[in-house]
Structure 1
Amino acid sequence: MKLLLRQHLESMKERDGLDVLLPQLLSELGYEVIHRPRIGGRQAGVDVAAVGPDPDTENKKSLLLFVIKSGNVGRADWDGSLQAVRPSLGEVIDDYIPNRIPEQFRGLPITVCVCMGGEIEEGIRAAWRGFVNNNTRDGLSFREWNGDRIANLILSGVLTHQLLPPTQRANFQKAIALVSEPDESYQNFRALLDDLSDGLQPDQAGTTRLRQMMICLWILVTSGFDAENLDAPYRACELAMLHVWDAVRQCPERKRKRYAERWEIFQNVVSLYLSVGQAFLVDKIGPHAGKRFALSAAVQSRSPMDVNLSLFDLLGRLVLLGHWHHAIACRAEGGEAQVHLAKRDELLDLAIQTINNNPTLVAPMRDDHQIEIAMLTSLAQSCGRLENVSGYLEEVANRIAYGYRRRSHWVTCFREYQHLARHPIDRSDAYFRRSTIGSVLVPFVLVALDRLGKSGAQAQFERDIQDTLAHSTFQTWVPHEKTADSFWKAGQSICLGIALGLQSGDGSNASMSSEIANICSMHGRILEWEAVQRGLYPLVLTACRHHRLPVPPQFWVDPAS
């Protein structure tokens, strides 16, 4: 375990890495963190400041000032630029200590700690000792917090035997070791999260588990970067967001300090998700989205089904990340908002390129591909570019109707891989009815075409499904009053809401769009959820995609932002 932590710490970056991990670790160990890293503005050399027992002075209460650097500290890191260690230490002595220490902490002994994931290299250790000897005085000392020390603190304070029982340690170690086998790694990490969050209470012990969860997630992500395989880390980030948000919403806001701690952990997990998504989807996969059949070939399977399922999964990831950037932009201001809007637009462009260059995406195989298509439509609406996906929706409708008419590889409600691999077994009426007994995709396509103003395509699609799917039940899914208690962490086998049958698809005069509008007004509880109220509607889409639950009609075209 220590070797894994040591390797993880050495490879962590300074920004959005050690500077996020260290405050969480200090808080867990009982320190009061009074200064955290921030982007923009001068920090006078100090990345993190905390008040607590100094382990090098018999645990005497002290003010610890941390200067953080990534990896090993070599000659260039010591005095090679204005951001190097020695100039930063000079700023701490000349600016932070005399001018920036809060009044209530001015009487405490001060310990300046150079914190790094690696260690101080031998080539500059003499220079480090000389600096320490020249600047140490009564009430001011200097310490080296290297990766080995931080790993020991993590093991003693966060990942002890009492907090990580053998079953959890086994799941964690398997998730790390099998990171190049994404399915196995994800399943083990999911088991770890389920154990950690099982019965999690809104108390300090629950917050400790969340920090523990976050540190484990960081180690998995770093292992994924080292192995150049980010599939499992991406899926783990999605699931961790849902687990942490469930813990945030269960903590009463009146417990302000604890709620703030959990909210900070949630923000850190979202930040990690955005970083992994950028590296995985935009930087690694994005350059190939514009190449004809490149992503289809990358699936490395001769089975059209494998290609179809993999490409729809990728499409869902792209548009979900776009929704997160849109939601963050709506909460941000100025330049930060523009950065996220640009990334949102880039992800929609990548999704459209992926569709244009991989024709399998116009022919969904599973009825629950409604999730990906609905998220794409709502993201296009957020970008003001519905016209860019209208042709895609028309073609999807044509392919669905063609498959039903010809009974050739039609969209089925089956989800299990073994059933899909054999689909269609035959073209008999009995099998056709069984494989199309219900649909959430068909009503979505009907409503989307109507809202896009494609009345001709909608009328033709409606005639086709009335001729071929008279036996089918058209449905939509909405949460009920208890959905939020199990929605965020639940698996596929748990009933989480209400499936409502729709009458408009049976040839009646009622409009599907008006019926959906009535359902939205009658079952609008989801819009009262804290996540939606706070502008975090992508959490709902994340849960739907991750747990394969249909996107509720409130999010079909207009996201609840």
Structure 2
Amino acid sequence: MKLVLKDYIESLKEEGELDSLLTDLLWSVGIKIFTRPNKGTRQYGVDIAAYGKNFQNSIEDQNKEVFLITVKKGNFDRNNWDSGKNSIRQSLNDIIDVYIPNRLGKQYNNCKINIVVASNGELSEGVIDNWVSYTKEQGTKNDKLNFVFWGIRDLVQLTEDNLLSELLFPEDHRLLLRKTLSFLDLPDYDLRHFYELNEKLFQKCLPLKNNRKLIKNLRLLRLISNILLKGCVEMNNIKPAIIASERVLILYWDWFKKRNSFNEKEPIKELISYHFFKIQINRIYFAKVQTSYYSEDGLSFGIGNLLEYSLITYEQIGISATIGMSELYEAMVHFPSDPNYSETCYKNAMQVSQSLGELIFNNPASCYPKYDEHCIEINLAMILFYQTERFDIAIQWLEKLISYLRDNYLLKEFIPLFITDYEKLIQIEVGGYKEEISSSILITCLADWCIMLKEDNLYKNLIELIEQSLPNIDLQHWHPEENTEENLFNSNAMRETGSTRSSIKLPKNPIEYEMEMVEERNIFFDETKFLHNNKGFQHIEYLANRHFRTYVFPNSWRQLLNTRFCFNKP
């Protein structure tokens, strides 16, 4: 475990990563932090200020002490000891000359002050004499000062003893983490060990009454997700991290709901913290893949056949759509308190929406869904386009989807498989096997989007296709029920709950179908009553749709409909 931790901690950046680990470590040993890292403000050498019993002292020593910590990445050597305004020596001088006399509260006047240099590297031999001489001289001037260096070995030991202790993280948990990291470079690895590990941790957290033990376990979830992320960065493949963090956030909400933690302040903070961590992974991932979206057939690189190209394309559509909607959610939530950050998030969402359009038009596979369940990705992307007002992209894609659906049937007699079956799909694609498709939810969704986008001609084209080529197809829609939320965040909710409306007959007049859509908003279960909607965590539903393959609820887009008659919601 020490080797895993060493590799992880050595990879941490100074700002936002190493300093975050240190705040968690201090909290775990009972030291209260009163100044946290604050980007953009002058800190006079102090990245973290804290107060509490010194965990490195003997048990008998009960005196509380001050910890003033300056955080540095890499080795402590001659290059960063005394060279410029960001050098270690300058930071220490700022702490002694400015922070202690002017910033440290009077209540700490009689306390021992530990000035700590924390680094994820080593103390090099070439600077040991400088360090010893400096600390000796300053200690002589003020006997309350104690200088400490925490290097990589100290941080590894502290992390293992306090955040990954045997009590918190027993051997079977460690084995699952090691297996995850070992199999991470396999292209078809399904992250099963990581999922099992997280389910064990959430199960352990469920009955905990001791708040401190609970928060330690919840922070452990973020730590192991961070370790996984760093492993992915080293392999230059962020995709496992984005899929894994998606699963953890969904399970996090499911745990939160089952425990009824809505009035527990600290668990709420940890959920928000993990959500922000997930947003950061989204941004890392999108920055990495965005360029490929602007290249013709950019997603086909390294893929040996058209079938895999199509499946990967739809997977990327779904991931990108949820990234964009997560940014929209961030923009909405932070608008009252931080309008500048909210504007940044909205711009991010617009950029994701634009880039997703480029992905679709540069990769023709986006217009050839293979499974009926690919309507999940289509609906998620369409909702993003609708909410970011990229109606031009949505209409062009919808036109291609309907046109290519017709062409594919006329040429190959192929309609996307209603039951997801990879082996059967291979037979169809390679061997010319013919599968008679009797049902479709995807086609009904396309009809809905014709109405949403006011594209009556496309709707009529779809009706013509059905009448001329698919007169016997059973058009369906799946709607959630009151108990659907119990399954939505831990499995495919369609297996246990919900109701399917079948034998749908699309009227020739699009206005008539528009009226049906509006009427059905009131006939079927009102999804706004779901707990995640009531608690303002709406977009978690879309992550669950994509991850566990539950069809997107029709009202997720129908509620956005501005009708051409008098039934609009105020």
TM-score, length-scaled by structure 1: 0.89
Distance in 2 of aligned mates of 1:125 and 1:404: 76
Change (3 A) 1:115 1:515: farther
Q: Which moved more, 1:315-324 or 1:452-461?
A: 315-324
Aligned match of 1:294: 298
Contact 1:400 1:410 in 2 (8 A): yes
Aligned match of 1:500: 500
Provide the secondary structure at the position in 2 that maps to 1:527: helix
In the TM superposition, residue 6 of structure 1 has moved relative to its aligned partner by 0.7
Distance in 2 of aligned mates of 1:327 and 1:142: 45
Provide the secondary structure at the position in 1 that maps to 2:482: coil
Aligned match of 1:164: 169
The answer to whether 1:39 aligns with 2:39 is yes
Change (3 A) 1:529 1:419: same
Change (3 A) 1:496 1:147: farther
Aligned match of 2:183: 178
Distance in 1 of aligned mates of 2:299 and 2:393: 21
1:127-171 CA distance string (max 9 Å, x none): 222232222333321211222112112211222233333332221
* 1:322 alignment partner, one of 308, 321, 324: 324
Aligned match of 1:551: 552
Aligned match of 1:457: 458
In the TM superposition, residue 506 of structure 1 has moved relative to its aligned partner by 5.3
In the TM superposition, residue 289 of structure 1 has moved relative to its aligned partner by 1.8
Provide the secondary structure at the position in 2 that maps to 1:336: helix
Aligned match of 2:239: 231
Contact 1:68 1:114 in 2 (8 A): yes
Contact 1:348 1:379 in 2 (8 A): yes
Distance in 1 of aligned mates of 2:262 and 2:454: 48
Structure 1 unmatched ranges of 5 or more: none
Paired AA for residue 231 in structure 1: K
Q: Which moved more, 1:475-484 or 1:6-15?
A: 475-484
Aligned match of 1:89: 92
Paired AA for residue 80 in structure 1: S
In the TM superposition, residue 191 of structure 1 has moved relative to its aligned partner by 1.5
The answer to whether 1:190 aligns with 2:195 is yes
Provide the secondary structure at the position in 2 that maps to 1:67: strand
Contact 2:487 2:493 in 1 (8 A): no
Count of aligned pairs between the two proteins: 548
In the TM superposition, residue 306 of structure 1 has moved relative to its aligned partner by 0.6
Q: Which protein shows a greater Rg?
A: 2
In the TM superposition, residue 542 of structure 1 has moved relative to its aligned partner by 1.0
Change (3 A) 1:380 1:84: farther
Aligned match of 1:124: 127
Aligned match of 1:3: 3
In the TM superposition, residue 250 of structure 1 has moved relative to its aligned partner by 4.8
Q: Which moved more, 1:362-371 or 1:179-188?
A: 179-188
Distance in 2 of aligned mates of 1:104 and 1:482: 55
Contact 1:73 1:121 in 2 (8 A): yes
Change (3 A) 1:64 1:497: farther
Contact 1:381 1:558 in 2 (8 A): no
Aligned match of 1:218: 226
Contact 1:36 1:49 in 2 (8 A): yes
Distance in 2 of aligned mates of 1:47 and 1:245: 32
Alignment of 1:195-214 (within 5 A): 195-198=200-203, 200-201=205-206, 203=209, 204=211, 205-214=213-222
Provide the secondary structure at the position in 2 that maps to 1:423: helix
Contact 1:70 1:117 in 2 (8 A): yes
The answer to whether 1:348 aligns with 2:346 is no
In the TM superposition, residue 360 of structure 1 has moved relative to its aligned partner by 0.8
Aligned match of 2:436: 432
Aligned match of 1:476: 477
Distance in 2 of aligned mates of 1:254 and 1:391: 43
Change (3 A) 1:514 1:208: farther
The answer to whether 1:281 aligns with 2:286 is yes
Change (3 A) 1:44 1:159: same
Contact 1:487 1:496 in 2 (8 A): no
Aligned match of 2:404: 399
Change (3 A) 1:73 1:342: farther
Distance in 2 of aligned mates of 1:31 and 1:102: 17
In the TM superposition, residue 541 of structure 1 has moved relative to its aligned partner by 1.0
Distance in 1 of aligned mates of 2:527 and 2:44: 46
Aligned match of 1:379: 384
1:519-551 CA distance string (max 9 Å, x none): 434556532445434554321111111111111
In the TM superposition, residue 11 of structure 1 has moved relative to its aligned partner by 0.9
In the TM superposition, residue 243 of structure 1 has moved relative to its aligned partner by 2.3
Provide the secondary structure at the position in 2 that maps to 1:142: strand
Aligned match of 1:517: 518
TM-score, length-scaled by structure 2: 0.88
Change (3 A) 1:483 1:45: farther
1:258-292 CA distance string (max 9 Å, x none): x3433333333333333333333323x22222221
Distance in 2 of aligned mates of 1:414 and 1:241: 28
Paired AA for residue 343 in structure 1: N
Contact 1:407 1:427 in 2 (8 A): no
Change (3 A) 1:414 1:253: closer
Provide the secondary structure at the position in 2 that maps to 1:432: coil
Provide the secondary structure at the position in 2 that maps to 1:198: helix
Percent identity reads 22
Contact 1:13 1:71 in 2 (8 A): no
Paired AA for residue 244 in structure 1: Y
Paired AA for residue 29 in structure 1: V
Paired AA for residue 56 in structure 2: D
Change (3 A) 1:370 1:185: closer
The answer to whether 1:74 aligns with 2:77 is yes
In the TM superposition, residue 218 of structure 1 has moved relative to its aligned partner by 0.7
Paired AA for residue 323 in structure 2: L
Q: Which moved more, 1:458-467 or 1:166-175?
A: 458-467
Distance in 2 of aligned mates of 1:331 and 1:518: 31
Change (3 A) 1:133 1:524: farther
Provide the secondary structure at the position in 2 that maps to 1:191: helix
Q: Which moved more, 1:313-322 or 1:521-530?
A: 521-530
Aligned match of 2:566: none
Distance in 1 of aligned mates of 2:410 and 2:324: 35
In the TM superposition, residue 223 of structure 1 has moved relative to its aligned partner by 1.1
Contact 1:527 1:533 in 2 (8 A): yes
Provide the secondary structure at the position in 2 that maps to 1:30: coil
Change (3 A) 1:84 1:511: farther
Aligned CA-pair RMSD: 2.8
Change (3 A) 1:182 1:168: farther
The answer to whether 1:305 aligns with 2:307 is yes
In the TM superposition, residue 311 of structure 1 has moved relative to its aligned partner by 0.9
